[in-house]
């Protein structure tokens, strides 16, 4: 849980001093004295990076632009940039005596416009070197205008317009993420943020509760939680109001005071469109359930719901069957049900599934659930793979022959599949897919290593670094970008530090084709794999074992000669493509 007091934050930081792990360096850039904000940011980073020891550097007081330039020359994995009105014009702060005369107001806007452009450029340069989290001014404007406080002045509207333009530019800058003002308003109301006494005496403008809330959101942008992959929903009193088969029927509209369920359906439809898998569990007979899902006006399309488990067995059994159909781990799945008892029953069998209770009859509670689900599944950018996921996992095309265990029959199938593998260089900035794939893949994952965005950039920037992203398609359609290989080359050896392959691409010999490409195109003599066992990566162990006839160690090596002798027939047309 995030620290809410300075003492809690200091306790987190003091406990981390004994952590033997690597040092994770971050920066905080602001025009004011960082004081408690720096403490809260460092503590929240430490809480989210428990295996590392966080060090936080801060910039010079009163010089935001200089702080941006200085930070750009430092070795940091990420930066939090906190803007306030005084960074646009010092007369908009409380520690300057330049005056608030009516004749000065137009010049304040002119100066703020110049600062807007300079800040946008400075943040952009910094984001080319490291991920950046930004908050635009959070404090109330000072009473600088001649109008009463209940009248919107030209000064205030012009300044807010400039900040809106700055925010629009920031969210479109690669490598930059912006704190959402609406979320911050909910955590820290505007009237509770400013500490005038602290601002005047120390240069620190925030009350501690506001500093804690702002720090939490900034760090979430720098070290975001992994988004969930799939949702399993109950039907009765969840997807709709009422119980299938009963005389009262089911509804999701304003007339029956059940429109909150329509909002839930709309959210599910949006999640499905963004690549989230949606499954259904219901204790009812199959025919009744299918009739309900075929009802006119349902906001979530029937074809987006897969699998549908309709029977009278415990819901934990249904969840187990759905997890197998999806080939997903329970930790990436959310289960939504109106019944606390059903949630508890599933949690007892599948403790890694995130349970969310749907509060039927409580419209405000339903809205809070919608916000919670958006947070659990949200991601900053959608990729082409998101649109492909539901189709490729939700069921094979009707003409797709089943893959068999017999090698000869699999050869026959793959030889007709028209397989194509495009090898793309990994871009440091601009495409979130490689890092997303590395951080969410469990089964075919060389060592289970997860990276922050800053760590990933550092990995790609090492001397001799090598990283590729592989996109796959065949006659049955594209799977998109399904694999990442990253490491470092030294002479004729390539050390592979990270290798993942999406479960959607299993049983197509893509792993063999990948190594074949590396040996052939790079002209290397051997590959060294930084393997480490995890509870879920037995597929990697099996693959490495098939290459060496022995248990893989932490430095599993494969020579070009051994690989050539072991590889099965490959039918993949492999070629390089443009930058990812």
298 backbone dihedrals φ, ψ, rounded to 5°: -65, 130
What angle, rounded to 10 degrees, do the helices at 433-440 and 453-460 form? 110
User: Using CB atoms within 10 A of its CB, is residue 325 exposed (0-12), middle (13-18) or buried (19+)?
Assistant: middle
Say if residues 421 and 513 touch (Cβ distance below 8 Å).
yes
Element (H, E) at 307: strand 305-311
SS (H, E, C) 316-352: HHHHHHHHHHHCCCHHHEEEEECCHHHHHHHHHHCCC
Asked if residue 419 lies in contact with residue 472, where contact means CB atoms within 8 angstroms, the answer is yes
Q: Which two tokens mark 66? A: 């200089």
Q: Which two tokens stand for residue 120?
A: 């946008």
**Which two tokens mark 503?**
């479960």
DSSP code for 246: S
Q: Are 329 and 338 in contact (CB under 8 A)?
A: no
Q: What is the DSSP string of 48-83?
A: H-TTSEEEEEE--TT-HHHHHHHHHTS--S-EEEE-
Sign of CA dihedral 19, 24, 25, 31: negative
d(CA 399, CA 460): 41
CB atoms within 10 A of CB 368: 12
| Radius of gyration of the CA atoms of the chain, in A | 27
pLDDT of 406 reads 60
Write down the pLDDT at residue 404. Answer: 43
Distance CA 105, CA 462 (A): 50
Cβ 98 vs Cβ 86: under 8 Å: no
547, containing H or E segment: helix 538-548
- On the question of a common fold for 6-222 and 230-392, the answer reads yes
CATH topology of domain 407-576: Aminopeptidase (3.40.630)
Residue 360 · residue 259 · CB < 8 Å: no
- Specify the pLDDT at position 245: 81
Distance, CA of 242 to CA of 250 (rounded, Å): 5
Say how far apart CA 367 and CA 133 lie, in whole Å: 28
pLDDT tens digit at each of 580 positions of the chain? 899 999 999 999 999 988 788 899 999 999 999 999 999 999 999 999 999 999 999 999 999 999 999 998 888 999 999 999 999 999 999 998 888 999 999 999 999 999 999 999 999 999 999 999 999 999 999 999 999 999 999 999 999 999 999 999 999 999 999 999 999 999 999 999 999 999 999 999 999 999 999 999 999 999 999 999 999 999 999 999 999 988 678 999 999 999 999 999 999 999 999 999 999 999 999 999 999 999 999 999 999 999 999 999 999 999 999 999 999 999 999 999 999 999 999 999 999 999 999 999 999 999 999 999 999 999 888 887 887 776 666 544 434 444 444 677 788 889 999 999 999 999 888 788 999 999 999 999 999 999 999 999 999 999 999 999 999 999 989 999 999 999 999 999 999 999 999 988 888 999 999 999 999 999 999 999 999 999 999 999 999 999 877 788 878 899 999 999 999 999 999 999 865 4
CA proximity to 390, closest of 329, 325, 320: 325
pLDDT at 401: 44
- CA pair distance 496, 323, nearest whole angstrom: 30
Tell me the β-bridge partners of 231: 278, 334
d(CA 432, CA 342): 37
Domain ranges of the chain: 6-222, 230-392, 407-576
Structure tokens at 36: 């408690």
CATH of domain 230-392: 3.40.50.1000
Tokens of 146: 């001649």
d(CA 422, CA 480): 10
- The whole-angstrom separation of Cα 169 and Cα 118 is 12
- Residue 330: which region, alpha, beta or left (left: phi > 0; alpha: psi -120 to 50)? alpha
Q: Per CATH, is 6-222 categorized as 3.50.50.60?
A: no
Dist CA 538 CA 551 (whole Å): 11
φ, ψ dihedrals at 280, nearest 5°: -130, 135
The DSSP bridge partners found for residue 308 are 280
Closest CA to 435 of 256, 249, 173, 226: 226
**The residue count for the chain:** 580
At 378, list the tokens. 């949200």
Global pTM value: 0.87
**Six token digits for residue 399:** 């003409």
For residue 390, list its beta bridge partners.
none
Three-state SS at 392: helix
Residues 319 and 290 sit within 8 Å (Cβ to Cβ): no
């Amino acid at each position: 849980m995030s620290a809410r007091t300075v003492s809690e934050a200091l306790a987190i930081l003091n406990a981390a001093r004994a952590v033997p792990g690597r040092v994770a360096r971050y920066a905080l850039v602001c025009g004011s004295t960082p004081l408690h904000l720096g403490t809260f940011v460092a503590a929240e980073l430490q809480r989210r990076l428990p295996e590392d020891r966080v060090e936080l550097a801060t910039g010079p007081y009163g010089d935001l632009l200089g702080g941006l330039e200085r930070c750009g020359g430092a070795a940091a994995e990420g930066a939090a940039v906190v803007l306030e009105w005084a960074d646009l014009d010092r007369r908009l702060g409380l520690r300057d005596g330049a005056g608030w005369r009516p004749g000065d107001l137009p010049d304040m806007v002119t100066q703020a416009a110049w600062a807007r452009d300079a800040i946008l450029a400075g943040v952009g340069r910094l984001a080319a070197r490291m991920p950046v989290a930004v908050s635009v001014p959070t404090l109330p404007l000072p009473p600088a205008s001649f109008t009463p406080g209940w009248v919107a002045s030209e000064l205030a509207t012009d300044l807010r317009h400039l900040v809106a333009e700055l925010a629009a530019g920031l969210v479109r800058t690669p490598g930059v993420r912006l704190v959402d003002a609406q979320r911050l308003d909910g955590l820290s109301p505007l009237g509770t943020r400013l500490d005038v006494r602290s601002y005047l005496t120390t240069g620190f403008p925030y009350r501690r509760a506001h500093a804690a809330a702002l720090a939490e959101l900034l760090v979430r942008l720098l070290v975001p939680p992994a988004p969930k992959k799939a949702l399993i929903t109950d039907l009765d009193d969840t997807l709709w109001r009422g119980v299938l088969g009963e005389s009262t029927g089911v509804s999701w509209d304003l007339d029956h005071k059940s429109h909150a369920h329509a909002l839930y359906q709309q959210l599910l439809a949006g999640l499905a469109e963004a690549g989230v898998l949606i499954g259904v569990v219901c204790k009812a007979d199959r025919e009744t359930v299918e009739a309900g899902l075929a009802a006119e006006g349902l906001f979530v399309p029937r074809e987006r719901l897969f699998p549908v488990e309709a029977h009278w067995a415990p819901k934990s059994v249904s969840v187990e069957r759905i997890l197998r159909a999806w080939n997903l781990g329970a930790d990436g799945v959310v289960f939504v049900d109106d019944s606390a008892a059903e949630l508890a029953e599933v949690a007892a069998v599948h403790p890694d599934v995130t349970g969310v209770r749907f509060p039927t009859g409580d419209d405000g509670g339903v809205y809070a659930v919608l916000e919670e689900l958006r947070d659990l599944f949200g991601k900053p950018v959608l990729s082409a793979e998101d649109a492909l996921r539901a189709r490729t996992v939700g069921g094979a095309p009707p003409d797709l022959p089943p893959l068999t265990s017999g090698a000869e029959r699999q050869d026959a199938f793959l030889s007709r599949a028209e397989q194509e593998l495009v090898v793309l260089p990994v871009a440091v900035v601009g495409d979130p897919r490689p890092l997303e794939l590395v951080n969410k893949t469990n089964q075919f994952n060389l060592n289970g290593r997860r990276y922050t965005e800053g760590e990933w950039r550092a990995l790609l920037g090492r001397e001799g670094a090598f990283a590729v992203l592989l996109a796959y398609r065949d006659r049955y359609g594209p799977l998109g970008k399904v694999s990442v290989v990253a490491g470092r080359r030294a002479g004729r050896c390539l050390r592979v530090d990270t290798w993942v392959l999406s479960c959607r691409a299993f049983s197509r010999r893509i792993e063999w084709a990948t190594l074949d490409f590396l040996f052939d195109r790079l002209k290397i003599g051997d590959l060294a794999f930084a393997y480490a066992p995890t509870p879920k990566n037995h597929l990697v162990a099996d693959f490495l074992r098939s290459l060496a006839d022995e248990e893989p160690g932490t430095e599993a090596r494969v020579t070009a000669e051994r690989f050539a002798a072991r590889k099965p027939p490959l039918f993949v047309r492999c070629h390089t493509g443009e930058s990812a």
